A and B are shown apart, each in its own frame.
Chain A
Amino acid sequence: MDQLLLNSGFPILSVLIFLPMLGALVLLLIKDEENCRWTALAFTTVVALLSLTLLSGFDSTTARFQFVEMRPWIEAFNINYTVGVDGISILLLLLTTLIMPFCVLVSWTYIKKRVRAFMICMLIMETAMIGVFVALDFVLFYVMWEAMLIPMYLLIGIWGGPRRIYASVKFFLYTLAGSVLLLVAIIWLYMQNGYSFFIPDMMWQSYSTSAQMFLFLAFFLAFAIKVPMFPFHTWLPAAHVEAPAAGSVILASLLLKMGAYGFLRFALPITPEATAIMMPWVLWLSIIGIIYGGFTALAQSDMKKLIAYSSVGHMGFITLGIFTLNLDGIEGAVLQMINHGVTTGALFLCIGMIYERTHSRDIESATGIGKYMPVYITFFTFFSLAAFAFPGTNGFVGEFMIIAGTFKYSLSQGNFPWLALASIPGAVLAAAYMLRMLQRKIWGREHNPDNSWLKEHDLNIREIITLAPFLLFVLWVGLAPKPFLNIMHSSVSALVQNFATCQAKAVAIAGTILN
């Protein structure tokens, strides 16, 4: 149990998990739509504020799990309700809790039908997502992991666009299918670890290489679909395009992080040997994802689709960083997870705002609006710059660290840094497709559609309040990323350290066998 640091006292993580659930129950009693919106906003805001108090109690000098709670749940199978956070999950937890109020805000007028049901879905979604990031018991994790699908499915299917049924069913079945082997892997690990589902106990054990390969395959399938890595990405554009604005934000900012988080939390620590074997393949898959996402994004005329494909590229960078398995790469990847959550979330919010006005997501229909909506376009420009990693924005810091990590990886292997070089075109492509969209939206062409009526419809106060914190974050991380890196540093370096030790041990064992 030395991985645990038991913070006695207030069970804050449980409160964070179940408060949104309570909010959903409260909503059941409220009939009025306006009150539903306010209640949902109140609950998500309280959760966000409460989660911020975690930071004051968080000890960033240790890699151990903190704020841990452990209660027996199903004793016959030794399943416990165990939750806790470390430097990696606390950031993702905060990302989740802080983004949710904005998702409620952006849906304020966007969602007109069945407001109560919508808000209930959002709150249940929040419970499940927080649960995934803090679960330290594998069954609890799996329950939350799968439970996430239902509200998301309903969000896309009920409030989505014209092809919502296709998109929602594809999303549901695709991601569900990914978890097939995950459950088997969980049960196998349970048998191997003296009938315990406690996740930290499963890490850094010396399972046989073949078992590790099987486990890695199971993890990879589940997490690569969730990320999504090329070639498992096809559900993403469909789901993104059809989802309502808040749904897209949740998908892009939070749901996609689950896969990357899964790699960090499970694949690396539980199957280090298999990870080392599969590393080159995954790295090149990430590169393919980056390039592929970039080119496909370049070809889109639908803004939501464009951002969706750009997400495939960005997530490629994140998996690239994770699988370089050095400090720079992984820290960059975690930071980039947060960055991508913020910038892509903000971009989807922006597109949702323009869609609310013009009822079209086509770039062509929104050309030349820079003249009429200066406030909007200022925000949009900043987020676009962040999306293609312009220096001074958050995207630059993350992407820079990842590429630096990739260089280091190649050099440590004694290879020419092909990987890092191959990822550069991705960065250029990102600039190309974002600038293309930006140019059209601000100035357009010689003959633009008449959008002058938008003059009176620039962003209102609610929308500015929604976007301003995102902008603040973009610049904060861009100019001073240190506080964020500090939080995760101990956990990531412990991860890298343990991984190296495991590798050395495996090499030593292989050496003795050969001798």
Chain B
Amino acid sequence: MHDLVSFLPLVITCTGALLLMLYAVCPKAEQEKASLMSMGFFAVAFFAQLLVVCTVSRPLFPETFNGMLGVSGFTNAACLIVYACGFFTTLSSHTYFRENHFATVEFYSLLLFSAVGMVLLSMARELITAFIALEIMSLAIYVLVGFNRASSRSTEAIFKYLILGAFSGAFFCMGTAMIYGAAGSTRFDSIAEWLAFNPATTPLMLGGAFFLLITIFFKISAFPFHAWVLDVYDGSSNPITGFMATALKTAVFAMIANFLALSGNLHDSWITGLFWIAVFTMFGGNLIAIGQDNVKRMIAASGIVHSGYLLIALVAINSEYFSGAVIAYYLAAYSVATLGMFAALSWLGGEGEKRVTFDDFKGLAKRQPLAAATIAVFLLSMAGIPPTAGFMGKFYIITSAISAGQIALGVLGIISSIISMWYYLRLIVSMYFHDAEEDFIVDGSSLASISTVALAVAVFAIGLFPLVL
């Protein structure tokens, strides 16, 4: 019974997705109502998950479904983040689709489906399950990325993402097969057992892990698999970009952390590689971000940088501070700021996303002081300036890196965060230090505007009272 209780949120989301799919065939179906419904499902799932976290204290059933799925404090945190992301994405979509008219009821159903995939992925304790979850998530996301069929940019984005995603899916299968060949099982704990007695550097194991990591790096947009991010993020609609940048990244990081944490052996053989990938991801992302004129592309590139910081935490995963909590905290902090950013963009972007470049936001502070202030808060949090959540997240990551003996990585992380300040400041400069060129007539009472304010408050709340730890 307990097993099922902790799957309750997942069941709710899944039911929601199916119900919305059924609702879509009703002749009178309206996308506004569907968005409200999906908001409700996400909210209920979130609180159900919160209930599970609060009431069930003992570690739950390592053996659910024959060890295919597992729940820990870390996965719970990841699931909470995913549900919260889903909730706020629906809020921003609600506002976004008042100005942009290509939504249908299925949009929200797919959003719920992708959340199902993400939750499963973070719970996966077995490679085949992980693959299925990954595909549930990815297929829904592919459709969501290309939802605006009238836009050629959107089509380009979906095409790129689909082709590359298909490749990475194939790599994942390949890696799974090789690991199965080496260890004789696809279950994480069995692989760990095998690794305890055998070196992780046998060709099959090494190769299998290599292919798995390629897929993971692709999904989290780590160097050198980051090139797709800019076009895909740019081509998707604002709410979906926000959802991809946060929830998807959370789920994939949860999965890889579970996988790498299972055995120090495996982790050790990859640590040098991870080190360099973290460094290149941070600095490569920064270089790309500095060159952008488009806010969405800048945030996309900065998402690469944030993956780099999270990789630092992965490198330090076996230090005495278990970095599961650190990763979860950072993901929460990052998600709040990024979601807030995209909620604000959905709200201010206007019809056909006409406000996208830095120059388009000139003088926003004069016309919409609240919006400008919240965006500034999100940017400062992403940059890691105290007393925001982003600072605390970075602080924990640096602390865990240094306690794992990776002082160089810690220093590089801070240097990178200072470089990143440059492009975050640019947006603040155009919002605050320039005169307005237009009136920014937007609907101030929309749901997205409310959610930006809520998220901005959350940035400080999480930063000053980090309860996740």
Contact = CB atoms under 8 A, between A and B. Distances in A.
A25 to B, nearest CB: 12
A150 to B, nearest CB: 6
Interface in A151-175: 154, 157-158, 164-165, 168-169, 172-173
Interface string B8-32: 0000000000000000000000000
A187 B414 CA distance: 12
B399 A143 contact: no
A476 interface: no
A515 to B, nearest CB: 34
Contact of B411 (A77, A143, A177, A181): A181
Contacts of B411: 180-181, 184
Interface string B218-256: 000000000000000000000000000000000000000
Contact of A150 (B385, B403, B429): B385
Interface stretch (B46-54, B286-294, B417-425): B417-425
B369 to A, nearest CB: 8
Contacts of A173: 418, 421-422, 425
Given A146-B385, A184-B410, A158 B433 contact: yes
Given A143-B391, A188-B402, A183 B386 contact: no
A172 B402 contact: no
Contacts of A139: 395
B461 interface: no
A183 B432 contact: no
B469 A74 contact: yes
Contacts of B387: 143, 147
Contacts of A181: 411, 414
A168 B418 CA distance: 15
A188 B414 CA distance: 14
B403 A191 contact: yes
A190 B433 contact: no
Given A169-B425, A176-B421, A184 B433 contact: no
A231 to B, nearest CB: 19
Most B CB contacts (10 A, CB to CB) among A172, A183, A191 go to A183
Nearest to A145: B386
Contact of A77 (B399, B418, B433): B399
Contact of B429 (A149, A169, A180): A169
A147 B386 CA distance: 5
Contacts of A164: 433
Interface string B368-406: 010000000000100001110001100110110011000
Contacts of B391: 143, 146
A187 B316 CA distance: 15
B407 interface: yes
A76 B73 CA distance: 15
B442 interface: no
A143 B386 contact: yes
B414 A157 contact: no
Contacts of A172: 421, 425
B7 to A, nearest CB: 29
Nearest to B400: A187
Nearest to A157: B433
A226 B231 CA distance: 41
Interface in B94-114: none
Nearest to A177: B418
B385 A147 contact: yes
Interface residues of A, number: 31
Nearest to B366: A114
Contacts of A149: 385
A146 B429 contact: no
Contacts of A146: 385-386, 391
B466 interface: yes
Interface in B411-439: 411, 414-415, 418, 421-422, 425, 429, 432-433
Contacts of B432: 154, 157-158
A187 B385 contact: no
Contact of B398 (A143, A154, A169, A184): A184
A355 interface: no
Interface string A99-141: 0000000000000000001000000000000000000000100
A142 interface: yes
Contacts of A183: 395, 398, 414
Contacts of A74: 392, 466, 469
Nearest to B383: A176
Contacts of A187: 398-399, 402, 410
Nearest to B434: A165
Interface in A176-229: 176-177, 180-181, 183-184, 187-188, 190-191
A77 B403 CA distance: 12
A187 B394 CA distance: 12
Most A CB contacts (10 A, CB to CB) among B411, B415, B432 go to B432
Contacts of B403: 191
A117 B411 CA distance: 35
Contacts of A190: 399
B420 to A, nearest CB: 11
A415 B37 CA distance: 83
Contacts of A144: 386
B361 to A, nearest CB: 15
A187 B410 CA distance: 10
B453 to A, nearest CB: 13
Contact of A180 (B395, B396, B414): B414
B438 to A, nearest CB: 19
A182 to B, nearest CB: 9
B379 to A, nearest CB: 11
B469 to A, nearest CB: 4
Given A180-B415, A184-B402, A184-B410, A76 B469 contact: yes
Contacts of B325: 76
A83 to B, nearest CB: 15
A147 B391 CA distance: 10
Contacts of B398: 183-184, 187
Nearest to A182: B414
A180 B418 contact: yes
B395 to A, nearest CB: 7
Contacts of B380: 150
B313 to A, nearest CB: 14
Contacts of A143: 386-387, 391
A397 B425 CA distance: 43
Contacts of A157: 429, 432-433
Contacts of B386: 142-144, 146-147
A191 B414 CA distance: 18
Interface string A63-97: 00000000000101100000000000000000000
A188 B407 contact: yes
Interface in B319-358: 325
Most B CB contacts (10 A, CB to CB) among A150, A154, A173 go to A150
A176 B469 contact: no
Contacts of B422: 173
Given A74-B469, A150-B385, A157-B433, A176 B418 contact: yes
A436 B421 CA distance: 41
Contacts of B421: 172-173, 176
Interface string B453-469: 00000000000001001
Most A CB contacts (10 A, CB to CB) among B380, B402, B422 go to B402
Interface of B: 325, 369, 380, 385-387, 391-392, 395-396, 398-399, 402-403, 407, 410-411, 414-415, 418, 421-422, 425, 429, 432-433, 466, 469
13 contacts: A76-B325, A143-B386, A146-B385, A147-B386, A157-B432, A158-B433, A168-B429, A173-B425, A180-B411, A183-B395, A184-B398, A188-B407, A191-B402
A-B pairs, top 10 by smallest CB distance, nearest first, are: A143-B386, A76-B469, A157-B433, A146-B386, A187-B402, A180-B414, A147-B386, A143-B387, A187-B399, A165-B433
Given A142-B386, A157-B429, A181-B411, 11 more contacts: A74-B392, A74-B466, A143-B387, A168-B433, A173-B418, A173-B422, A176-B418, A177-B418, A184-B398, A187-B399, A187-B402
